[in-house]
């Protein structure tokens, strides 16, 4: 069943579009949602990539289109690169959510505390992790490996 356009606003719908690699983070919390312009049922959504080659951008674009489309809107997704995304664009909520899900939020230096035992110091295993936005760390105290959301600014 197609819900009519009036039930949920584009903003409310976009809050339900998650990053495919960090499915607990909405694109708004991640800071890659740059603008929403609505004229009637037409919605123009502007997003920005976290990294130039982020392969998740195509999936995110499709998720936005299908989310809006299935609620009676006609979406148009635009990619904008300026100003460049930095980790300063993460919402405070995003930092809490990362912590809760076992990721260390970005830190200015690499003096990162382990998100599991809250102890430290952790050391860098690799500056590049399983996706472009993460680095791989290991806790010096409990020995547990964990992902750090890389500082980029």
Partner 1 sequence: MNVLGFADDNLILAQRLSEWVAAAPDLELDIAVANIALDHLGVARALLTHFGDLEGKGRTEDDLAMFRSERELTNLLICEQPNGDFGQTIARQLLFDSYQVGLWEKLAGSPDEVLAAVASKALLEARYHWQHSATWTERLGRGTEESNRRMQSGLVALARYVDEMFDEHQDLRRGFDERLTPVLDESRLVLPKDPFPRRGGRRGMHTEHLGHLLAKMQSLARAYPGVQW
Tell me the β-bridge partners of 33: 47
Min dist CB 51 to partner 1, Å, is 6
The residue among 49 and 115 lying less far from partner 1, judged by its C-beta, is 49
Between 1 and 82, whose beta carbon lies closer to partner 1? Answer: 82
Please report, for the chain, how many H helices and E strands are present, in that order.
Answer: 4, 7
| Least distance to partner 1, CB of residue 4, Å | 35
Binding site for partner 1 (CB under 8 A): 49, 51-55, 80-86, 125-130, 132, 136, 150, 152-153
Minimum CB distance to partner 1 smaller for 125 or for 142:
125
Identify whether the C-beta of residue 75 lies closer than 8 Å to the C-beta of residue 65.
yes
Residue whose CB is less far from partner 1, 84 or 118: 84
Q: Which residues contact 138 (CB under 8 A, 6 or more apart)?
A: 122, 123, 125, 144, 145, 146
| Distance from C-alpha of 105 to C-alpha of 71, rounded to nearest angstrom | 34
Nearest CA among 95, 104, 108, 89 for reference residue 136: 104
Closest distance to partner 1 from the beta carbon of 72 (Å): 29
Instruction: Enumerate the β-bridge partners of residue 101.
Output: none
CB of 110 to partner 1, least distance (A): 11
């Amino acid at each position: 069943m197609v819900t009519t356009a009036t039930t949920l606003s584009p903003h409310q719908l976009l809050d339900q579009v998650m990053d495919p690699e960090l499915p607990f983070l909405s694109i708004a919390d991640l800071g890659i949602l740059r603008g929403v312009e609505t004229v009637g049922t037409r919605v123009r959504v502007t997003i920005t990539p976290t990294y130039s080659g982020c392969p998740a951008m195509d999936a995110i674009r499709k998720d936005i289109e299908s989310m809006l489309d299935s609620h009676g809107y006609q979406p148009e997704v635009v990619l904008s690169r300026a100003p460049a995304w930095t980790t300063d664009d993460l919402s405070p909520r995003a930092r809490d959510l990362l912590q809760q899900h076992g990721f260390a939020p970005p830190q200015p230096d690499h003096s990162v505390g382990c998100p599991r035992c809250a102890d430290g110091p952790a050391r860098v295993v690799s500056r590049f992790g399983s996706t472009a936005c993460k680095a791989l760390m290991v806790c010096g105290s409990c020995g547990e490996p964990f992902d750090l959301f890389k500082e980029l600014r």
